[in-house]
Structure 1
Amino acid sequence: MTVLEDRDAADPEVLCAIAAGGQAGERVFRRCTFDEADLADVDLSGAVFEQCSLAGARLGGADLDGVHVVGGSFARADLTGAELSESRFTDVDLSQARFTGALLGEARFDGCRLVGADLTSLRGVVLTFSFDGSNLQLASLQDATLKGLRLTGVDLSDADLRGADLRDTVLVNCVLRGTDLSHTRLDRADLRGADLGELTADAPRDLAGAIISPSQAADVCGALGLTVIG
């Protein structure tokens, strides 16, 4: 095992650990700084990042399979097309990070901040990735495939879900206030555990196919100017 603490991306030992790739065994980086570093297409599979900063790092096409990130920041990081299968992010700031086309098979984001993140066209061989307890306000999930997932405690306020696939998805204690659901596929999506916020006259169209509660149905009727009695 290689453990490196309080280093930066220019440190010779750090460069050697990165160059060695997954063949080097477990690599642990603690309180290291990789801000704005060019790590595109690098093999970081299985690496552990504890309280590290990769703000603005370029990680497009990088192999991050099985990485474990605890705390720290990946804010504004470019993860376009990165391989993130079986990765785990815990309490990480991923605000405005770009995940366009990233492979997230079995990836987990627990209690992370993904405000304004670009998660368009997410892909996954196995659709079991999760965002439990994470903040995805203002995030873009256009055309993302979330089919059959269980989302718990996720704040999707003002997020863009246009064209996303949420068929059979279950939302528990989630927030959808101001979320753009235009052309979102919601067949059999269970929204009974979601806060839908203030609904508009477009709600019947945007929520077509979804499972909602009686109180939510009353809110939809209210948005249409109808009064439900009984």
Structure 2
Amino acid sequence: MYQYDNETFHHHNFDQSNLQDGELNGCIFEQCSFKGASMEEMTSTGCQFIDCDFTGAYLNASLHRGSAFTNCKFSGTNLFVVKFEDCKMVGSDFSNAALDGLTITGGDWSYTNLRHANLSKQNLRGIRFLEADLFGCDLQKSDLRGADLSRVQLGQCKLKGADLRDAKLEGIDLKGLDWQGVRMDVEQAVLLARSLGAKVG
């Protein structure tokens, strides 16, 4: 068990480090490398990770509250049953990351790469996904009410049973999606109908 409070690290190498079961509070990590690090069951609160590399790291069962992971690499990272609560994830890349059991509550996930992620049955209400890449994601039965999906890449997404009421859908190619079983509000239904060539009103 370890604890870091309000510390700052620049260009620090944490590769292969054992950072399990610790607490990080109000710390700043800028351009640090955590490749292959063991970070299971650790907790971050109000921390900033800027341009950090978590390639191949193990963050399973970790908890992050109000932290920021901006422009970070999570390629091949183990994020099994990780919880992100009100975190800022702008510009981060989750290519080939293990996301099973991931829990996202609130926060800003704009410009993230979440291609082919399994986000089914998730409570994603009100989350900002502006211009995120969700190509091929499984969003079946997810609650996306009030989410900002402006200009999101939703190609080949599975949406059956998802709830999109009050979500922002500007800039999305609605014609190429399978809307079977999707819940939407009247404004969205009109938008979809017009995208398919219908004259509404």
Q: Under a length normalisation based on structure 2, what TM-score does the superposition of the two structures give?
A: 0.90
The partner residue of 1:87 within 62, 66, 80 is 62
Question: After superposition, what is the alpha-carbon deviation per residue over 1:99-137, rounded to whole angstroms, capped at 9, x for unaligned?
Answer: 12222222111121111110223314xx33222221111
Q: Which has the larger radius of gyration?
A: 1
Alignment check: 8 A CA contact 2:115 2:134 kept = yes
Distance 1:85 1:193, change over 3 A: farther
CA RMSD in angstroms comes to: 1.9
Which 4+ runs in 1 deviate beyond 6 A? none
Alpha-carbon shift at residue 193 of structure 1 (Å)? 4.6
The partner residue of 2:182 within 204, 207, 211 is 211
Tell me, which stretches of 5 or more residues in structure 1 are unaligned?
1-25
**Number of matched pairs:** 200
Q: Under a length normalisation based on structure 1, what TM-score does the superposition of the two structures give?
A: 0.79
Listed as ranges, the matches of 1:70-219 within 5 Å are 70-124=45-99, 127-199=100-172, 202-209=173-180, 211-215=182-186, 216-219=188-191
Moved more, 207-216 or 180-189: 207-216
More helix by share: 1
Alpha-carbon shift at residue 89 of structure 1 (Å)? 1.3
Taking only the aligned residue pairs, the percentage that are identical comes to 25
Alpha-carbon shift at residue 179 of structure 1 (Å)? 0.2
**Partner Cα distance (1:219, 1:212) in 2:** 14
Alpha-carbon shift at residue 211 of structure 1 (Å)? 0.6
Tell me, which stretches of 5 or more residues in structure 2 are unaligned?
none
- In structure 2, the partner of 1:221 is 193
Distance 1:33 1:166, change over 3 A: same
Query: Secondary structure, in 3 states, of the residue corresponding to 2:120?
Result: coil
Q: Which has the higher contact order (CA 8 A, sep 6+)?
A: 2
